[in-house]
Structure 1
Amino acid sequence: MDDNECNFLLLSYRERSALESDIRRATSKAEAADVLHRHDVSEGDFVKEFPDLAKVVHLLPD
C-alpha cells in the first residue's frame, strides 16, 4: 500500500460524504477537478473509491 492509498483511507465518513456532495454539485470536469484538489484526493483514488460517481464526472462538459 503506498502513501496515497493510506491518505485516502484516513478520510472520515464526514469527509467522504462532503467530497461526494461537492462532486455531485460540480457542473464541469474542471470544477470536479477543483473539488478533488480541495479535498486532497487524487483522480486515481477517486475513481477507485467512487467508480459510479467517476462515471458521472466523465459525462460532465469540459
Structure 2
Amino acid sequence: MTASTYLPSDNYHAMLDTLENIARNFDPTAPDDLRTRLIMAVGEVSDIWPDSCRAEQGQGKDDKKS
C-alpha cells in the first residue's frame, strides 16, 4: 500500500485549476503538448515527481551505489 500524500491546500487547488484548464483547452492535434502540460501541472505546481527523478539526483531507491 502506498502512503497518502498531503499537499498544502493552495498547491492542491492550484494543481486542480491547472489540470481543469488543460482539459478544457485540450488540442487533439498536439498530444505531446498535453503530456508536457500535465507534467508541469503535477510537478511544477504541486512538486510531485516520480521516484526516478530522485534517482537522477542520487537520492532515489533505484540509485545504484558501487
Per residue, is there more helix in 1 or in 2? 1
Question: Which structure would you say has the larger Rg?
Answer: 2
Give me the TM-score of the superposition, normalised by structure 2: 0.38
Greater RCO, CA 8 A, separation 6+: 1
Give me the TM-score of the superposition, normalised by structure 1: 0.40
